[in-house]
Structure 1
Amino acid sequence: MPADHSAPVTGGRTPTVIRLLVLATFVVILNETIMINAIPNLMTSLDVTERAAQWVSTAFMLTMAAIIPTTGWFLQRVTTRRAYAIAMGVFLAGTALSAIAPSFAVLLLGRIIQAGGTAVMMPLLMTTLMTVVPEHDRGRVMGNVTLAISVAPAMGPVISGLVLQVGSWRWLFVLVLPIAGAVTWFGLRHLDNIGEPQAGAIDVSSVGFAALGFGSLVYGLSKFEPDNVTTPALIVAAGVALIAIFVLRQLRLQRTGSPLLDMRTLLSATYTKALILMSVAFLAMLGSMILLPLYLQNLRGLSPLQTGLLVMPGGLAMGLLGPTIGKLFDRFGGRVLVIPGSVGVSLALAGFTQISMSMPYWQLLGLHILLMISLAAAFTPVFTLGLGALPPHLYSHGSSMLGTLQQVAAAFGTALVVTVMSARSTSLVESGTDAVTAHLDGMRLAFGVSAVLSLVVIVMAILLPNRADSPEHAAVEPEARTPELVKD
């Protein structure tokens, strides 16, 4: 029988359901970055080009972007246990298929299936956390969540670098399979249902518009190159048009049925500010995650494993400080963390504009740690403030929208820095500058663009309140409101 979660969770103790979901989320998010170092291995093993091999990461990101918009509706229609079982079951199937893939096409299918399970886990974790954890304790618990979602992407390249030193790319999936299986089994034994599922048919056209719209947008952004702008721009424009149709469809469904993604989340000023801050901060973080390995490997001659080890302390610092930052948020509120954190992001990115062929590695390490710690100081409070400003029946939709925009921001950040860097370096080479100097200058400019964009994060940080506003129920007409979760 499901446990009774109607009683508030006492401070100082993270609910078992959250611990289980954090563990599962860590395992599935790890796979988003675990294939980054495997491209050369794949090219040799499966006889594919570098451009084709890159699809093992691109397809994962595209699938996430296409599926996450549907998770808000999905999580309101199934029990917690069923959502968990489906997400982990799909992830396990994709992992097993990838491990035994006889061809690149089958591997790509396995990665797409993996991403389908991963897409559900983050919104499920966030929605459950906001439902079972009282407001006064959310910062601490959200800090533990930050540990999982920040350390996992940082550890992916490091783990893959170690594995690829001694084995083939298949071991990246073979090793994950029993861990994910054990996590799934343990979770299903101990996980309780939170709330009651609601009735409501899915709007098929909304699913199509969301998948094609967000998928096209992310795909188009991932294809931008200095010598290939027109075609990606047309794909992005088509994606934006389909997303506009999707939004109009959701606005209509809010009056007549069940929207796939409830736009009434944006009526909360605090949530909207948090959404903008998180998206731009994520863009800046992903931009640096792309540029720094390129600089360290292509210009400084480090191996993928050495690069992973150099950036690992920043990811670990970000994750390990998460719980402490969460406790500080519960005690002092968000502004004391978010404003210094946003300033730190800008300072770190500005510092990276000074990279050279002789910059000491300890300076690079220090700047990366500053960036990661600053992002941790911003992410935990902003997640909590933004979702905390929504009424409970919009938690799943708020989590879904946040996850969707993170994928779009990741694609946009990658496209932006690579395009700026390539355009600048190509221009300098054509004017007679040597290749190394041109590439360095291109990277400096790309970091500079990221630093300028991060000023938006500072502005949003100043505008955010210190504590979450009362959920803005008034923004949603009672007759149009989706029934709230009924806890067991």
Structure 2
Amino acid sequence: MNAASPSSGGTAIDLSKIRRGPIVFSLIIGAFVAILNETLLGNALPDLMKEFNVGATTIQWLSTAYMLVIGVLVPITALLQQWFTTRQMFLSAMTLFLVGTAISAFAPEFGVLLAGRVVQAMGTGLMLPVLMNTILVIFPIEKRGAAMGLIGLVIMFAPAIGPTLSGLIIDALDWRWLFYLVLPLAAFSIIFAAVFLRNVTDLTKPKVDIVSILLSTIGFGGIVYGFSKAGESGWSDTEVVWSLAAGGVSLLLFIWRQLVVKEPILDLRAFKYPMFSLVTVLLFVVMMTMFSTMTILPMFLQSALLLTAFKSGLIMLPGSVINGIMAPVSGKLFDKFGPRVLVIPGLALMALSVWMFTGIDTDVSKGYVIFIHIVLLVGISMVMMPAQTTGLNQLPRHLYPHGTAILNTLQQVSGAIGTALFISIMSTGSKNYLAGSEDPDAPAEQVAGLMAGLHDAFWIGFIVALVALVVGLFIRRTKAPEEQETKQVA
């Protein structure tokens, strides 16, 4: 089945003469620059608080707003990709990112810097689904694993080096250099893509449903914001309660509307394909585990082991680099052996590593922490892209934009939920410990309280990882409907 079926009024794209190499390279450059930017500001937040004279709650919006905008924008990309060409989508996304970077670099006050981050996030949110959808379209199913592995290398490696790179820049230069250095990279990506990127998708130009867009924005935005805010203010906070309530109701109405309208902006019929549905659940649980661990571990390194942000970034760097290297290797193995030989052992490694984290204390060696972190990220590299490719492979071509949008949206939502949930568990465990302490204000007791909360969070993380392992046992190799139809005709 082609996305441009006669009933849709689209025009089919001839992919026989497409040069895949330049297209993939164009996409990878843009993705690397945009995704690197997600974690680049982490070590700069204390400097920015002093620069703009704002508190921790305010400065956190530089990260929260970024995640919020992506969470809101990604569901709509399924519609946009049916109205605009690959070139138009990618060049628009990178131009927005470039403009946002320039605004941030020269921001005279905090409000302008936040606006720049929002514009950057708009570019990132538009680009990520285009990246995955293009890979699905231009590569046959037997070669997608390797191609998705290259994308995985970028998605995993870019944010991994962000904290370490930002630590080096902050130590040597002004915080504005975090944006200055990104500007030429973003400009090069635009120029290269303008020369080499070609349109590979079919334009069907479906009806634009404004009501669905509004419901999607309020629904996903409310959920992401509510959970992000809960990690900071607690679950009983009025703003958190109302955000989650508004988001939940709007999301239910959005789902209902997508099932009844003739041309939904996010086609939920993708869930009719069992392996796609299973992978969606699996990735949701895996992303919760990954995001929560990546949030909790730096707190342990900096608050319990008393390391600087830069040193904690260095400790987390080896695992993240190995994770990036493993992504294309996993992709090649996926093409040859299928998902089970990668996903099930990978989930087992994830569960093992989180269990090992439950036993750490303030006497733990840095080498042991690095080892556990490497085990965790090797496991994740064996799961993420193989599972994602397996689920998307089962979809017919006209559902590719919708499938990629669904998975990218749920990754943002699961990240917000996982981070908020595990920080809440950690905070509750710490408070309960200190409530029974004879001297809760003593520095040693504060650290002990932190460790009690961390252990509670990691134990829950271990249970979540076991759930993921059970779900992963049901994963199977899939074939595209078009491939099955071809074999039947033959």
Same fold per TM (> 0.5)? yes
Number of the residue aligned with 1:323: 328
Q: Secondary structure at the match of 1:281?
A: helix
Question: What is the letter of the counterpart of residue 462 of structure 1?
Answer: L
1:9-408 paired onto structure 2 within 5 Å: 15-224=21-230, 228-230=234-236, 231=238, 232-253=240-261, 256=262, 258-408=263-413
Picking from 449, 455, 459, the partner of 1:448 is 459
Percent identical residues: 38
**CA displacement at 1:234 relative to structure 2:** 3.4
- State the secondary structure of the residue aligned to 1:224: helix
CA contact (8 A) 2:346 2:383 kept: yes
Cα 1:389/1:426, change in 2 over 3 Å: same
The 3-state SS of whatever aligns with 1:77 is: coil
2:179 alignment partner, SS class:
helix
Separation (CA, whole Å) in 2 of partners of 1:70 and 1:473 = 28
Change (3 A) 1:447 1:39: same
Q: Distance in 1 between matches of 2:186 and 2:480?
A: 38
Q: Pick one of 9, 13, 16 that aligns with 1:7.
A: 16
Look up the match of 2:481.
471
Question: What SS is found at the alignment partner of 1:355?
Answer: coil
Tell me how far apart the structure 2 counterparts of residues 123 and 228 of structure 1 sit (CA, whole Å): 32
Moved over 4 A (4+): none
- Does the 8 Å contact 2:82/2:206 carry over to 1? no
Counterpart Cα distance in 1 of 2:194 and 2:55: 41
Whole-angstrom CA distance in 2 between matches of 1:150 and 1:104? 29
Q: Deviations over 1:435-469 (max 9, x none)?
A: 1111101001101111111112112211111x114
Q: Are the counterparts in 1 of residues 86 and 200 from structure 2 also a CA contact under 8 Å?
A: yes
Cα distance in 1 between the residues matched to 2:197 and 2:460: 45
Cα pair distance change 1:185/1:225, threshold 3 Å: closer
Q: CA deviation at 1:77?
A: 1.1
Tell me the CA shift for residue 428 of structure 1: 0.8
CA distance in 2, matches of 1:181, 1:283: 34
Distance 1:48 1:464 in 2: 48
TM-score normalised over the length of structure 2: 0.92
RMSD: 1.8
Q: Distance in 2 between matches of 1:339 and 1:101?
A: 47
Q: Structure 2: which 5+ runs fail to align? A: 1-12, 485-490
Cα separation, partners in 2 of 1:347 and 1:300, compared to 1, 3 Å: same
CA distance in 2: counterparts of 1:71 and 1:195, whole angstroms: 13
Tell me the TM-score normalized by structure 1: 0.92
Tell me, in whole angstroms, the C-alpha distance in 1 between the residues paired with 2:17 and 2:398: 18
Look up the equivalent residue of 1:158 and give its one-letter code.
T
Q: Which amino acid aligns with 1:346?
A: A
**1:427 aligned onto 2:432:** yes
Whole-angstrom CA distance in 2 between matches of 1:110 and 1:388: 36
- Give the C-alpha shift of residue 169 in structure 1: 1.8
Offset at residue 473 of structure 1 (A): 11
Q: How many aligned residue pairs are there?
A: 465
Unaligned runs of 5+ in 1: 475-488
